[in-house]
Amino acid sequence: MGPRPLVVGNWKMNGTVAFAGALLADLLAGLREASEPGTPLLRQLEVAVCPPYPYLALARERLVGTAVAVGAQTVCAQGDGAYTGEVSAAMLADLGCAWVIVGHSERRSLFGEDDAQVAAKAASALGAGLGAIVCVGETLAERERGAAESVLARQLAVLSALLASADPARLVIAYEPVWAIGTGRSASPQQAGEMHAFIRARLTAHGASGAVRLLYGGSVKPDNAEALFSVAGIDGGLIGGASLKAADFLDICRAAARAARAPSGVH
């Protein structure tokens, strides 16, 4: 891995107040522990958790003053106003969120978000001072018909204005092949490496800084995390199911820290 790795937990629509409180306490205790070589994980990595909206304030309260950031899972593209049921980027920033996930494949496929809406949401997030973690990725059908790269190119092209101008510390792209999300079928390190190289080339073509981080997401688990994070060009992970178990998420964070310390990636 190159830049400081980022590991983000996407809790999706899971939990209760009690569950969230217990998970946050376990995470914090584990992240504060020293890992080899004696440095707390939180000095080796950036870590964020993205609980559902109702638990954001709780997460912020428990994590304030720690190095674990809080993020939301989506945001409204519009500013405050008559948008019943929506949550604005300004509200998330006001609550102390540092990040928001934008364009997750579940938002795209289940809630009809298109590329233009994803770009508008990312712009709104960045405009409010949040970091945007923008998800891109192809479906299995798109991969099988040889369209994976053209889908990624299209999903990235709508972000071109943001890519060229955003603070690289606050714009993150997450490559999440749709066929790998929640399926237990991760991309292989080689597949992920190829797609990350393609995405990095597109980012460069759009004028993005090399410091924009590129995460991998899709069935990352403790047993495959280190192999994935050791691939050159993978700067951390977006973790769904495994982020709901403190022990698994902590193992994944440790794997990211080990991969970051290793001299070079597999490519």
Residues in contact with ligand PEP by CB under 6 A are 10, 12, 104, 176, 181-182, 217-220, 238-242
For residue 26, count other CB atoms closer than 10 A to its CB: 15
Query: How far apart are the C-alpha atoms of 249 and 17, rounded to whole Å?
Result: 19
Query: How far apart are the C-alpha atoms of 143 and 136, rounded to whole Å?
Result: 13
Is 194 marked active-site?
no
Residue nearest to ligand PEP (CB): 240
- Angle between helix 189-205 and helix 148-157 axes, rounded to 10 deg: 40
Half-sphere exposure of 232 (CA within 13 A, CB side): 8
β-strand partners of 10? 50
Q: Long-range contacts made by residues 143-146, C-beta under 8 angstroms, separation at least 24?
A: 143/177, 143/179
**Catalytic residue of the set 113, 138, 176, 226:** 176
Q: Going along 73-158, which residue ranges are E strands?
A: 99-102, 131-136
User: Smallest distance, Å, CB 32 to ligand PEP?
Assistant: 24
Is 106 marked active-site?
no
User: Smallest distance, Å, CB 8 to ligand PEP?
Assistant: 8
User: Smallest distance, Å, CB 113 to ligand PEP?
Assistant: 14
Of 12 and 62, CB closest to ligand PEP: 12
Query: How far apart are the C-alpha atoms of 45 and 98, rounded to whole Å?
Result: 15
Of 206 and 245, CB closest to ligand PEP: 245
For 65, phi then psi, to 5°, come to: 85, -5
Query: Going by DSSP bridges, is the β-strand pair 68-72/6-10 parallel, antiparallel, or unpaired?
Result: unpaired
User: Smallest distance, Å, CB 141 to ligand PEP?
Assistant: 18
Of 36 and 181, CB closest to ligand PEP: 181
Of 79 and 182, CB closest to ligand PEP: 182
Query: Going by DSSP bridges, is the β-strand pair 68-72/46-50 parallel, antiparallel, or unpaired?
Result: parallel
User: Smallest distance, Å, CB 218 to ligand PEP?
Assistant: 5
Of 193 and 241, CB closest to ligand PEP: 241
**Catalytic residue of the set 46, 104, 106, 142:** 104
Q: Which residue has the tokens 């280190």?
A: 226
Active site residues: 104, 176
